[in-house]
Amino acid sequence: MKADELRKLCDSVPFHPFVIHMADGRRISVRHQVFIMNSPSGRTAVVYQPNDSFDIIDVPLVTALHVKANGAGSRRGK
């Protein structure tokens, strides 16, 4: 995954929630752009959840980005 693709989603106007799919099978929801921070190099990102838990992501290990339809919380299909 290229850091530019992740930054593009983070900076989109209007913002649309999305899910980050990792190589190890994890799925990490990004609910709003204030919940994600990219490192200057683009190598890592930190994603916070509303309960203040967070994931540190190695961006090259991202396998896919899934934009949620109409900002809805559920995924369609697989």
Q: What are the pLDDT digits (tens) for 7-33?
A: 999 999 999 999 999 999 999 999 999
| Best CA proximity match to 33, nearest among 58, 61, 67 | 67
Chain centroid, CA 47 distance in Å: 7
SS3 category, 47: strand
> What pLDDT, on the 0 to 100 scale, is given for residue 68?
81
What per-residue confidence (pLDDT) applies to 70? 66
**pLDDT of 59 above 50:** yes
Structural domains in the chain, CATH included, are 3-71 (2.30.30.100)
Is there a contact between 73 and 23 (Cβ–Cβ < 8 Å)?
no
pTM over 0.75? The answer is: yes
- Give the integer Cα–Cα distance in Å for 55 and 28: 8
